[in-house]
Structure formats: C-alpha cells, structure tokens
C-alpha cells in the first residue's frame, strides 16, 4: 500500500515532530514544579540526555512517546502500514538506544524513571512518579 501523502508533505510533517518540550513532557514538568520538586532539563552530559534530571536525588526522568519508544502493549505503539521495514528498523534502533542509555545511567548510580505518553494522557503517572521519587530520598 502506497502512502497517501506526497513525500514532500510527509517530510514536512515528520520534521515538525519535536524531541524536546513535548506536551507530555511539559505536563510532567508542571506537576513536578507544583509539588516542589526542582529539576534541570535535557542534561546532555548524561547518557541519553534525560528529559528531566533531579540532581539532588540523582534521578533521571525520560518522558517517552509510546509510538517512538515502543511502549509494550499500548495502542499508541502501532506500526504504520506503509514502509514497514523502515519503521521496524527505526523502532529497533530507538529501543536499543534507550536500553543502552538506561544501563549506562544505572551503572553510573542514577535511578531512571520512564514516564509514558499514555500515562500522562490519563493522569496515572502522578502516583507512580511520586512513589519512585520518594524512594530516592
């Protein structure tokens, strides 16, 4: 099945997808700030450049999109119907890169918390994130 969108338009659409300051990330940041948790953003000196870093607790938080980072069992983690081999390779490399970053951070003594896009959408991230952060103190 061929793509219904011309390649130029598809390129324009895909280049508009942000990797920083996404809506789910901003929601998590607002919630953290409202609860008195101060943080730094996109610390590129840490492996994987975590979205949010709580230095005093040595916690790195990744706010992952379910589609791009393949949230297991999530309806948002579908595979596009066109160009399947490209997408499968893209997803495989994303997941492998995430795994390496997680292992590197944990071996350096950091606690890693992953918040998924679907959790932010339904608000269920708050309790689990608070529980994870309390364990760090």
| Phi-psi label, residue 58: left if phi above 0, alpha if psi -120 to 50, beta otherwise | left
The CATH code that applies to domain 7-136 is 3.40.960.10
Domains of the chain by residue range: 7-136
The strand pair at 111-116 and 52-54 is best described as unpaired
Per-residue pLDDT of the chain (137 residues; tens, 9 = 90+): 566 778 787 667 666 666 677 899 999 999 999 999 999 999 999 999 999 999 999 999 999 999 999 999 999 999 888 888 989 999 999 999 999 999 999 999 999 999 999 999 999 999 889 888 888 66
Residues 6+ positions from 76 with CB-CB distance below 8 Å: 65, 66, 67, 117, 118
**pLDDT for 18:** 65
d(CA 91, CA 71): 11
């Amino acid at each position: 099945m061929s793509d219904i969108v011309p390649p130029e338009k598809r390129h324009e659409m895909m280049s508009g997808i942000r990797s920083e300051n996404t809506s789910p990330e901003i929601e998590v940041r607002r919630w953290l700030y409202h609860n008195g948790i101060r943080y730094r953003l996109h610390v590129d000196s840490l492996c994987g450049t975590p979205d949010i870093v709580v230095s005093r607790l040595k916690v790195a938080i990744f706010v992952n999109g379910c589609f791009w980072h393949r949230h297991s069992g999530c309806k948002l983690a579908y595979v596009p119907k066109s160009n399947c081999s490209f997408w499968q390779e893209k997803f495989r490399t994303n997941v492998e890169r995430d795994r390496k970053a997680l292992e590197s951070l944990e071996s350096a003594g950091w606690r890693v918390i992953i918040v998924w896009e679907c959790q932010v959408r339904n608000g269920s991230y708050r309790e689990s994130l608070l529980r994870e952060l309390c364990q760090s103190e």
